[in-house]
Amino acid sequence: MFKEENPAKDIKTADTVIGASVKVEGDFNSDHDIIIEGSVSGNVKTKNNLKIGKNSKVKAEISAKNAFIAGTVTGNVVVQDKLHVTSDAEIKGNITASLIMVELGAKLNGQCRITPTPEALNNNSLPKKE
């Protein structure tokens, strides 16, 4: 079983929130958690967690520690630890992460690459082999 412990999924509030009625263009860098519910084009980079909401549209190269994606993303997604792609998500680009969970119905158009970190290998959150 895949043990669900993606911190990005449970973000309720964050220092940085891009709401549904806002458009952001350019290179967006942060050291903190980011929630995106609106539209972003350019690059999105955070050293922490990233949550992309259901109706958001992101055309950007994405880099984050953990990510939870429920919206539309056009661009490559590089996640250091855990990536959760929901059934509503649509990703046009390559995804890279240590642990990836993709829900039934998610649309992925790109390459998928798993890069386990030493921390990920040491904990028990990896799927067990039958």
Partner 1 sequence: MSYLYIYDNFLSAKKYQSSLYKIENRLVDLGIKGKVVRLNVLKNMNEVVEDGIKADITTVVVIGDDLSFSKIINIIAKKDLVLGIIPVNNKSKFAKILGVPPAHQACEILAQRIIKEVDLGMVGHYYFIDSATITNEETTVKFGSYNASPSSKQNIVSFNNLNVLSELNIDNKFNPTDGQLELVIQNTDVLLTKNKSTTILPFTKVSVECQQPGAFIVIDQITKLKPPTTVQIAPNKLKVIVGAQRMF
Residues that bind partner 1 (CB under 8 A): 14-29, 37-39, 42, 53
Whole-number minimum distance, CB 45 to partner 1, in Å? 10
- Cβ nearer to partner 1, comparing 57 with 92: 57
47-79 core/surface letters (b: 16 or more CB in 10 A; e: else): ebbbbbbeebbbebbbbbbbbbbbbbbbbbbbb
Question: Distance of CA 76 to CAs 91, 95, 127, Å?
Answer: 8, 6, 24
Whole-number minimum distance, CB 18 to partner 1, in Å? 5
- Cβ nearer to partner 1, comparing 44 with 78: 44
- Cβ nearer to partner 1, comparing 45 with 84: 45
- Cβ nearer to partner 1, comparing 16 with 94: 16
Whole-number minimum distance, CB 78 to partner 1, in Å? 19
Q: Is 25 exposed, middle or buried (0-12, 13-18, 19+ CB in 10 A)?
A: exposed
Whole-number minimum distance, CB 60 to partner 1, in Å? 10
